[in-house]
Amino acid sequence: MRFRHKSLILLLMAAAAACGGRLAFGSTQPVHAQHGIVVSVHELASRAGVEIMQAGGNAVDAAVATGFALAVVHPAAGNIGGGGFMLVRMADGKTHFLDYREKAPAAAKADMYLDAHGNVIENASTIGYKAIGVPGSVAGMVYAEQEFGKLTLKQVMAPAIRLAREGYPLSWGEARDLHDKYLTQFAESRRIFQRDGNYYQPGEIFRQPDLARTLERIATKPDDFYHGRLAGELAAVMQKGGSLITADDLAHYEVKEREPIRGTYRGYEVISAPPPSSGGTVLIESLNILEGYDLGKLESRSAQSIHFTTEAFRRAFFDRAEFLGDPDFAKIPVAQLIDKKYGAAWRDSIDDAHATASKDLKRPSIFSELEQYAAAHPQALGIHESPHTTHYSVVDAAGNAVAVTTTINDWFGSRVTADGLGFLMNDEMDDFSSKPGVPNSDGLRQGAANAIGPGKRPLSSMTPTIVVHDGKTFLVLGSPGSSKIITTVANVLMGVVDYGMNIQEAVDAPRFHNQWVPDVLNVEQWFSPDTVSVLQKMGYNVEFGLYDGGDVSPYWSDAECIAIDPKTGERLGASDYRHNGKAVGY
């Protein structure tokens, strides 16, 4: 994902700095649609969703069609070998949150990525068979289709099957991404994605007959993936490669319907992802802290507004590290964390003119539950969470809305392709804490609640979010970007709510990020140097861009969002110019 469209970025950098956070040129207007719209990272996947709505499907049918299509046209992150979260808000106001996050296999152990000396084994939780969690995407999408869709699974999977069988032309960036050196290490991945070394060229048609067959089998008999022959084949391939995943693990996989997290921000209702994602909790905790400041008056991307927002992020990420994990394995004090009184207490600790050093943060003692938990679990460090995933948003003609973030974690996941089945497997085990005290490639740290355990779901940052105003869906938001997902969603939401931007301007606006540790304020490359200099004087350690596993990326995340115009009802789709996303409506 990093360094894609670099020349465009360089142009944008030059133009954007002095525009109150809005870009001076480029697509500052969203795509307008009267009926339905899909926004995703790939035009063909967005089109798949629209095709399904035009054939009579609702937003869930379209989301499932888009999800399967992304598994074909965006193999780096779209998937059937990973997991995700789907937030649905139907036109009548009913909400559903589907957790189809991967699970640790039953044989997983807390220290499985440590060597005999207790040191983390490099790449053990990211590359290869041992990194793979039990995949949930097929279960999740099938569940969504069966519970909330109007069409049949066969109908909604048809576009994906067609794209896999007939192929699609690779863009320059897609062809280049397939050169990934870790894919080369796995014979089946090398065969399928690298044509055994005769690499695909830009413009060439990429066909995936094995994947087409697997998708056809799922469409015909979805249960087969977890309980039938397909499950047997997948388990055999996993075992042969040295994965811990067994047929029993697949048979025990289950989708969880969870209560989404709810908060309010300046009169808007914010509905978002509950644990095992940290996304909704950290988002709403941050917004609660910020509600006490008149950010609109301070102007978008002014040093003062960035200061307050960063201090809110810092505090919410501090709590993320302490408390969040799989709610089926630990009691997560979400109610206290998203209590407005707690937000106000955190706000009192913010100095108007100076950055707080992360090491000096002291949690307000207003809830004994938080204090007791923190005393029992001294702040532990260490989590792996990597920056590649994908988000898509859908609204249909009736006003049903769906936000989905799905991942195989790293770019191309574990790089393992299931032999003969044609799809890549995740490396989601890396989202657990491999070892307390060892920060991950993103420098993220977190506690005991996220230790590896059999059957457990690793903590996520994925933040599919729906914002409601006057009882009606107003915004559908989300992004990839690991820990940056949460601050990206906050940046976009505040762009609209606090700074009066249209949804495209809010997606385009330069992002900033802080996650408690490392104690750094990351700003996208085209921030105004004047603003940065004021922030430095306030005590911030500002870094332009983001260190991303060896490279510095000038930008991050990929917000694929929708707003519904409250006056006209028009669907306004904003894809992120940082990538090749596309809003397609009708």
Residue 36 touches ligand DON, criterion: CB under 6 A: no
Name 406's bridge partners: 84, 390
The CA dihedral of 376, 382, 387, 392, to the nearest 10 degrees, is -20
Among the listed residues 389, 473, 514, 522, the single contact to ligand DON using CB under 6 A: 389
- Name the helix (H) or strand (E) containing 46: helix 43-54
Binding window for ligand DON (CB under 6 A); candidates: 212-220, 302-310, 341-349, 384-392: 384-392
Q: Shortest approach of ligand DON to residue 37 CB, angstroms?
A: 23
Q: Shortest approach of ligand DON to residue 416 CB, angstroms?
A: 16
Looking at the Cβ atoms of 448 and 485, the one nearer to ligand DON is 485
From the list 126, 214, 246, 389, the catalytic residue is: 389
**Can you tell me the distance from the alpha carbon of 222 to that of 68, in angstroms, rounded to the nearest whole number?**
13
Residue 388 touches ligand DON, criterion: CB under 6 A: yes
Residue 399 touches ligand DON, criterion: CB under 6 A: no
Residue 50 touches ligand DON, criterion: CB under 6 A: no
| Sheet hosting strand 465-469, strand order edge to edge | 31-33, 571-574, 561-564, 472-477, 465-469, 268-272, 261-265
Residue 385 touches ligand DON, criterion: CB under 6 A: yes
Looking at the Cβ atoms of 162 and 457, the one nearer to ligand DON is 457
Among positions 149-188, residues that touch ligand DON (CB under 6 A) are: none
Residue 431 touches ligand DON, criterion: CB under 6 A: yes
Residues composing the chain: 586
Give Cα separations from 321 to 65, 282, 309, 461, 546 (angstroms).
Answer: 35, 10, 18, 11, 20
Among positions 306-335, residues that touch ligand DON (CB under 6 A) are: none
Looking at the Cβ atoms of 38 and 273, the one nearer to ligand DON is 273
DSSP string, 507-530: HHSPPEE--SSS--EEE-TTS-HH
Query: Cis omega (within 30 of 0) on the bond before 276?
Result: yes
- How many residues line the site for ligand DON (CB under 6 A)? 16
Going by C-alpha positions, the residue among 346, 358, 409 that lies closest to residue 517 is 358
Q: What is the CA radius of gyration of the chain?
A: 22
Residue 125 touches ligand DON, criterion: CB under 6 A: no
In degrees and rounded to multiples of 5, residue 141 shows phi and psi of -70, -35
Looking at the Cβ atoms of 273 and 535, the one nearer to ligand DON is 273
Q: Shortest approach of ligand DON to residue 409 CB, angstroms?
A: 4
Q: Shortest approach of ligand DON to residue 328 CB, angstroms?
A: 16
Looking at the Cβ atoms of 4 and 47, the one nearer to ligand DON is 4
Looking at the Cβ atoms of 246 and 482, the one nearer to ligand DON is 482
**Can you tell me the distance from the alpha carbon of 311 to that of 538, in angstroms, rounded to the nearest whole number?**
12
- Name the helix (H) or strand (E) containing 383: strand 382-383
Looking at the Cβ atoms of 214 and 557, the one nearer to ligand DON is 557
Residue 126 annotated as catalytic: no
Binding window for ligand DON (CB under 6 A); candidates: 45-53, 142-150, 339-347, 386-394: 386-394
Going by C-alpha positions, the residue among 352, 292, 290 that lies closest to residue 316 is 290
Residue 386 touches ligand DON, criterion: CB under 6 A: yes
Residue type, 172: W
State the first-to-last Cα distance of the chain, in angstroms, to the nearest integer: 29
**Can you tell me the distance from the alpha carbon of 573 to that of 392, in angstroms, rounded to the nearest whole number?**
11
Residue 274 touches ligand DON, criterion: CB under 6 A: no
Q: Shortest approach of ligand DON to residue 54 CB, angstroms?
A: 30
Q: Shortest approach of ligand DON to residue 387 CB, angstroms?
A: 4
Among positions 441-500, residues that touch ligand DON (CB under 6 A) are: 460-462, 480-482, 485
Binding site for ligand DON (CB under 6 A): 1, 385-389, 407, 409, 431, 460-462, 480-482, 485
Q: Which positions are annotated as active-site residues?
A: 389
